[in-house]
Structure 1
Amino acid sequence: MSWWGNDNRAKTTLEVIKNFEQENPGIKVNPEYSEFGAYWDKLATQVAAGTTPDVMTMAGSYPVEYSSRGALLDLTKVSEELDTSEFAPEILDLGKIDGTQYSITAGTNSLTMVLDPVVFEAAGVPLPDDNTWTWDDYDRIAKELKGKLPAGTFAVQPFINDVTIATWARQGGETPFTDDGKVGMSANRVAAWFQKQLDLQESGAAPSAAQNVENAAATTEQSLLGQGKAAMSITWSNQARSYVGHNVIMAKLPSESEKSGAWLRSSMEYTISAKTKHPKAAAKLVNYLVNSPEAGKLIKSDRGMPTSKAVRAEVVPTLNDNQKAEAAYLDRLAELKVTAPKPFPPGTATMTAMVQRHLTDVLFERQTPENAAQAFIDEVNSSTR
């Protein structure tokens, strides 16, 4: 079994594996783990060499990428060992690609706008009503905060990735990708997002381009938000609690409609190698990871909020206040029934790096928002297949 993450995740996962082996004495699990970037580099080499681990942890566009190469097992072939009866249909659908179940969701998360109530209170600015706020409200609040915060503290800590830009596109009535795998976002829509980030920077509500680059490379604790030097930032719901020592507010993203564009997604997924010599044993391990209450109580929300209804019921009461707030936030999104977009096509695994690079060019004024948007779209289109 392979996964990525820090030492705490490794320690927990090794304990879960030990418990699984005790319950399944005929199965020995060999763990492989590394930090995020090294994980994907190694996995690419393993897939090319045909030496993939039996159970692989995935995220983002990687299941699409590797299923298109024939590297992933159709999980319906091990349905006797992998029980999906406790998963809602829409959660199971997150692991389907062109109708085939290639992955099982380890946990869900979504984008959220983190609000630091301590910074808001210090500035004397009321918190927004996230049931009704729009991007115009967001810009107004950022401007108001900027005028009342001390030097070195900002209204906004910028954040962008492939899902951010896709959510922005969906809020504007556009689709991230068309059925034939090409970018469905218009250059005008992408440019409008780039322009918004530039306007926030130029107003002083967001840090300078150089500060933003430095902040993006920092750990969550050392980021502006982590140091109590930012009032608002988009981030993943399962990462929101890791920024500051006090409770933060997980708000819905601003939008022009009630649904806000954000959707429940797989924060992590488990897949099985198509070349595994141990499909039943691998499926038993995956089944234990997602369906065992004992495993769930150890993992908690580290891989996202548990998706088995039975495990979730056992785990949520054991969570801390911030984790319970995350569960409540995800429940709010689930009630909105925002349909997830189709999986992004093969070749988009590095889309986050693309959009970040082009936005950085805008913030350093090396490109106009319009030119950067078109260059981004062209680059993504050239990478898909």
Structure 2
Amino acid sequence: MFSRKRALAGVAIATGAALALAGCAGGDTPAADATFDPDEKVTLDLAFWGNDVRAELYNEAIAAFNEEYPNITVNPTFLTFPEFWEKRQTEAAGGGLPDVMQFDYSYLRQYSENGLLLDLEPYLGGIIETDPLPQNILDIGVVNDKTYGIATSTNAWGLFTNPVLLEQAGVEEFPGGTWEDYDAWMQSVTEGSGGAFWGGGDWTGRIQNFELQLRAEGGNLFTEDGEPGFDEEQLKDFWEQGADIRENGTVIPQARVEELAPKGGFDSALTASELTWDNFGGGYLGGLGEGYTELGLVEPPVTEEGAKDLYLKPSMLHTISESTEHPEAAATLVNFLVNSPQSGEIFGTNRGLPASETALEAADLDPLSQQVKDYEEGIADRLGDAPPVPVVGYGTIEEEFRQIGLELVYGTITVDDAVDRFFSEMDIVLNG
């Protein structure tokens, strides 16, 4: 198993090298005009990740965009999240990224530092309106003092619950508390279900929950200089927290989860809670289907009272390829997808809570969207500064963390060996 993971890490490094070579081969950043010439006929490729629901929303947004800009033809394509980034890596190596891309925060540093993304500074305050975007939102897309992405929306880490399953189990909503309190609550749900479903999953398999605990102690996963913000002992302590729930049947067995793919335990109504980003609610309701009209959304467990452990993250950004032949048209499309009232009305919180005040004001929030808005306002006392822009290779590190978490659930690796392997693989990704 270790050699296989080593090989996967090697592939990631090779891909990173390919991105670096592609970046070196890029041309000069196009000069920006003040506006886009509406008489110019251009075609733009737009790529995003998601499902059929999001694809239809993008189709509606493009139709609205074309009412205002009929000479800009937009060709949209979408994939699942993993496939999206596999295709981008292939395209980057060949110098052919789409003109406009929905972009994940964890890849922003990697692609921008390799010269693959257009510097958006010349368009800010012109083609790309900045008045509707608070400065802390604009700062999200800055790497090395240049703006490479515009946040479409924000989200925060939260705890979704299934009220239907809780009623069946005879258990009240999670009232808040420590991680140990959450474990006990999940166990009561599992026991109350009579074997029909579980209280949740093994939360120690998500690096975001580890990040939450580190931030409660005043740290971050990585420093501004790209160094790990934690040591082996901290990671060991975190993974050991999941030992009891993995062994006593509190959480859903991983073998059962794999049978459900591509859905998960929560949107299959087999777990009553899920720790994740708060913009996932719509997808969960869609997956649960008929009979489910609402979800619970509460704060995640607390590591230390009063800590600023939560933060607003860009659920996604929009970026422009450095190699685009139509930067002004691409910037016009980005501005529409981020700032326009039509965008806010169409997407709602499908991409997260709209970051633009213009889009947010125009959004007719459905009950779940309003719930997300209320949630983010309600956690204001726990919100701290966003962490540094993720290190190059963060996506690989996050996936390795998840894979090791699965092996811990299966019992095929000890915590000590898991820690050793993670630090070894992380060192390869960070230092090559």
Deviations 1:173-225 (A, max 9, x none): 4320123312212222222332222311212111234234445x341xxx332
- CA deviation vs aligned residue, 1:305-345 (integer Å, no higher than 9, x gap): 11111211221xx2221221111112223454311100111
Listed one character per residue, the Cα deviations across residues 54-112 of structure 1 (whole Å, up to 9, x for unaligned) are 21111131111100111111111212210111111221121112332110001111221
Residue 320 of structure 2 aligns with which residue? 272
Pair 147,27 (structure 1): closer, same or farther in 2 beyond 3 Å: closer
Alignment of 1:63-142 (within 5 A): 63-79=108-124, 80-130=126-176, 133-142=177-186
Please tell me the residue identity of whatever aligns with 2:366. N
Deviation at 1:146, TM superposition (A): 3.4
Q: Which amino acid aligns with 1:367?
A: I
Q: Measured at CA, do residues 105 and 3 of structure 1 come closer, stay the same or move farther in structure 2, by a change above 3 Å?
A: same
Indicate the SS of the match to 1:211: helix
Query: Which residue is equivalent to 1:286?
Result: 334
Q: Deviations over 1:106-147 (max 9, x none)?
A: 1111221112233333333333333xx111221232333333
Output the CA distance in 1 between the equivalents of 2:244 and 2:282: 28
* 1:182 maps to 2:231: no
- The counterpart of 2:66, out of the listed 14, 17, 21, is 21
1:145 matched to 2:192? The reply is no
Query: Which amino acid letter does the alignment assign opposite residue 72 of structure 1?
Result: L
> Which whole-Å deviations, capped at 9, do the CAs of 1:140-181 have from their partners, x for residues lacking one?
323333332211311122354443332232234432012331
Relative to 1, partners in 2 of residues 1:87 and 1:20: Cα closer, same or farther, differing over 3 Å? same
* Match 2:388 to one of 315, 337, 342: 342
Q: Distance in 2 between matches of 1:45 and 1:146?
A: 44
Q: Residue 267 of structure 2 is aligned with which of 226, 231, 256?
A: 226
Look up the SS of the partner of 1:372 in the other structure: helix
RMSD: 2.0
CA contact (8 A) 2:310 2:383 kept: no
Q: Return the letter of the residue paired with 1:18.
A: A
Shift of 1:282: 0.8
Q: Are residues 124 and 297 of structure 1, via their aligned partners in 2, closer, same or farther at CA, if it must alter by over 3 Å?
A: same
- Structure 2: how far apart are the matches of 1:273 and 1:339? 28
Q: Secondary structure of 1:235's match? A: strand
Structure 2 residue matching 1:271: 3-state secondary structure: strand
Indicate conservation of the 8 Å contact 1:264/1:333, yes or no: no
Determine if contact 2:179/2:301 at 8 Å carries over to the other structure.
Answer: yes
Aligned to 1:382: 428
Per-residue CA deviations over 1:209-266 (Å, capped at 9, x if unaligned) read: 4234445x341xxx33234332222122111243341321111111122346221111
Runs (5+) with no aligned partner, structure 2: 1-45
CA distance in 2, matches of 1:281, 1:164: 40
Does the CA-based 8 Å contact 1:183-1:377 persist in structure 2? no
SS of the residue corresponding to residue 205 of structure 1 reads coil
Equivalent-residue separation in structure 1 for 2:168 and 2:425 (angstroms): 43
Stretch deviating more after TM superposition (368-377 or 137-146): 137-146
State the identity %.
Answer: 29
- Once residues 197 and 218 of structure 1 are traced to their aligned partners in structure 2, the CA distance between those partners, rounded to angstroms, is 24
Q: Structure 2 length as normaliser, TM-score?
A: 0.82
Distance 1:22 1:284 in 2: 13
The structure 2 residue matched to 1:7, chosen from 46, 52, 64, is 52
Closer, same or farther: CA 119–55 of 1 in aligned 2, 3 Å = same
Q: Which amino acid aligns with 2:297?
A: M
Decide which moves more: 223-232 or 321-330.
223-232
The alpha-carbon distance between structure 1 residues 228 and 33, as it changes in their structure 2 partners (threshold 3 A), is closer
| CA–CA separation in structure 2 for the residues paired with 1:230 and 1:276 | 45
Is the 8 Å Cα contact of residues 201 and 274 (structure 2) preserved in structure 1? yes
CA distance in 1, matches of 2:395, 2:325: 28
Contact 1:174 1:184 in 2 (8 A): yes
1:1-60, CA deviations, whole angstroms, 9 ceiling, x for partnerless residues? 211221222222122122212212342223232332322122112222222222111113
Residues 162 and 296, structure 2, Cα contact 8 Å, conserved in 1: yes
The corresponding residue for 1:238 is 279
Q: CA–CA distance in 2 between the matches of 1:188 and 1:171?
A: 16
> Aligned pairs, how many?
377
Code of the aligned partner of 1:116:
N
Please tell me the residue identity of whatever aligns with 1:187.
E
Q: Against the structure 1 CA distance between its residues 25 and 125, is the aligned structure 2 distance closer, same or farther, given a 3 Å change threshold?
A: closer
Alpha-carbon distance in 1 for matches of 2:201, 2:382: 27
Letter in structure 2 aligned against 1:167: L
Aligned counterparts of 1:41 and 1:120: Cα–Cα separation in 2: 38
**1:264, 1:334 within 8 Å by CA — same for their partners in 2?**
no
Change (3 A) 1:231 1:12: closer
Give, as a single letter, the amino acid of the residue that structure 1 aligns with 2:283.
S
| CA distance, structure 2, for counterparts of residue 190 and residue 239 of structure 1 | 27
User: Given the superposition, is the C-alpha separation of residues 353 and 67 from structure 1 closer, same or farther in structure 2, using an over 3 Å criterion?
Assistant: same
Amino acid at match of 2:200: V
Match of 2:345 in 1: 297
| Bigger mean CA deviation after superposition, 290-299 or 119-128 | 119-128
When structure 1 is superposed on structure 2, of 72-81 and 234-243 the one drifting more is 234-243
